[in-house]
Structure 1
Amino acid sequence: MIYYSTFFTHSGAIKFSRKCTKLNIENESGPVPRKLSSNCGVGVKFSYDGDYSELYTEDIEKIYRIENNEYILLEDYDD
């Protein structure tokens, strides 16, 4: 599955990307698409076949699943 996470801070996005890399999870950091809300403007797209909630960090604002070029909101930790 392909996921996309937004973050509360730039440093949170960087830490998450490093965590993914350390766990051999393919990931890519970049600007958040305009249609998604983000506090810091940096997001991480990642490919993961396990339970995405295992990767949770307190810096994550929202997690989306990308399916057919659509972003499906799975978790909103900003509530």
Structure 2
Amino acid sequence: MQYIVTFYTQNGAFKFQRFLRDKGIDVKLMPTPRVLSSSCGISAAFEYEEDITGFIIEEVDAIYKRNNNQYNLVYRD
């Protein structure tokens, strides 16, 4: 399952990227899709099949599941 995460700041996006990489999860930073609202223009995309509640850190604004070009809100701070 693919997830897109939005952040409050660019620094938060970089911190989240390090956080996931430390857990061995491949994560890519990318421009935030226009259909998603965020305080920062950078979002993170990653694939994960298990429970993601442990990935909700202070810097996360929202988490979306991506299915084709549709985004379903999973979490919002």
TM over 0.5, shorter chain: yes
TM-score (norm 1): 0.91
Q: Deviations over 1:34-79 (max 9, x none)?
A: 11101011100011122111111011000000112211111111xx
User: Structure 2 regions of 5+ residues with no counterpart?
Assistant: none
User: 1:14 is aligned with what amino acid?
Assistant: F
Off by >3 Å, runs of 4+ in structure 1:
none
The two structures, once aligned, show a CA RMSD in angstroms of 0.9
Query: 1:7 aligned to 2:7?
Result: yes
Partners in 1 of 2:6 and 2:57 — Cα distance?
A: 11
Partner of residue 44, structure 1: 44
Partner of residue 71, structure 1: 71
Identity %: 38
Shift of 1:24: 1.1
Partners in 2 of 1:69 and 1:52 — Cα distance?
A: 21
User: 1:21 is aligned with what amino acid?
Assistant: R
User: Structure 1 regions of 5+ residues with no counterpart?
Assistant: none
Partner of residue 24, structure 2: 24
User: 1:36 is aligned with what amino acid?
Assistant: L
